[in-house]
Amino acid sequence: MTIEIAQFKIKAGVSDAEVLTASQEAHDGFLTTYNGFLDRELLKSSDEEWIDIVRWETMEDAQKAMQNFMGHPSTKKFGEVIDPSSIKMMHCEVVKKY
């Protein structure tokens, strides 16, 4: 299994409700239809940092999805609410699950 972690902040003036709506659209229209998708969690810290955790069957599945994410029509709104200068991404292989 591969875990994808995206950490970001939203643009000034964007509400949490707008983030959640855009995130749901990306989730339903892209992630859930993509090969190897397992599940996803969206987190928000007390300092307004958001963390999107997506679990994929393989690293290959995660990388293919990442390559196509921003160009897909259902992810457009999600990309528009995120401050692009704040994005930090990483992919991790699960070594052991307890």
CA 88 from centre of chain: 11
Mean per-residue pLDDT, 68-74: 92
Please report whether residue 63 resides in a domain: yes
Predicted pLDDT at 47 = 92
Please report whether residue 50 resides in a domain: yes
CA 68 from centre of chain: 12
CATH number of the domain at 82, please. 3.30.70.100
84 CB-near residues (< 8 Å, 6+ apart): none
Q: How many domains does the chain have?
A: 1
Distances (CA, A) of 46 to 18, 36, 84: 18, 31, 20
Please report whether residue 98 resides in a domain: no
Please report whether residue 84 resides in a domain: yes
Q: Which residue range forms the structural domain that includes residue 78?
A: 2-93
Predicted pLDDT at 59 = 96
What digits encode the pLDDT tens for the residues 8-50?
Answer: 999 999 999 999 999 999 999 999 999 999 999 999 999 999 9
Please report whether residue 30 resides in a domain: yes
70 pLDDT higher than 90: no
Please report whether residue 83 resides in a domain: yes
Going by pLDDT thresholds of 50, 70 and 90, the confidence category of residue 98 is very high
Please report whether residue 78 resides in a domain: yes
CA distance 76 to 61: 20
